[in-house]
Amino acid sequence: MAFLFYGESHQGKNMVIHISHELQREIAEQLEATYPNEGGGFLLGQGAADQMQIVDIVQVDNVFAEAEQHHRYAMRPQDWMRLEDLADERGLSLVGYYHSHPDSSAVPSEYDREHALPNFVYIITAVMMARANDMRAWQLRADRSAFAELALENHLQPQRRGADSAQDA
Partner 1 sequence: MAKIRIPTPLRAFTDGEASIEVAGGTVGEALSNLVEQHPDLRAHLFNDSELRSFVNIFLDDEDIRFMQGLDTEIADDDNLRIIPSIAGGNPPRSPQSMGGKPLISEEA
Binding region for partner 1 (CB under 8 A): 10, 38, 40, 42, 60, 64, 70-77, 79-81, 84, 87, 93-95, 97, 99, 101-107, 109-112, 115, 117-120, 122, 124, 126, 128-129, 133-134, 142-144, 149, 157, 160-164, 166, 168-169
Closest CA to 167 of 126, 121, 106: 106
Q: Is the dihedral of CA 31, 79, 57, 163 positive or negative?
A: positive
Smallest gap, in angstroms, from Cβ of residue 137 to partner 1?
13
Distance CA 55, CA 44 (A): 6
Q: Is the Cβ of residue 16 or residue 127 nearer to partner 1 in the bound state?
A: 127
Distance CA 58, CA 83 (A): 8
Q: Is the Cβ of residue 17 or residue 22 nearer to partner 1 in the bound state?
A: 17
Smallest gap, in angstroms, from Cβ of residue 6 to partner 1?
13
CA angle 113, 127, 77 (to 5 degrees): 45
Smallest gap, in angstroms, from Cβ of residue 157 to partner 1?
7
Q: Is the Cβ of residue 33 or residue 117 nearer to partner 1 in the bound state?
A: 117
In this structure, what are the phi and psi dihedrals at residue 65, rounded to the nearest 5 degrees? -50, 130
Distance CA 116, CA 147 (A): 9
Q: Is the Cβ of residue 73 or residue 151 nearer to partner 1 in the bound state?
A: 73
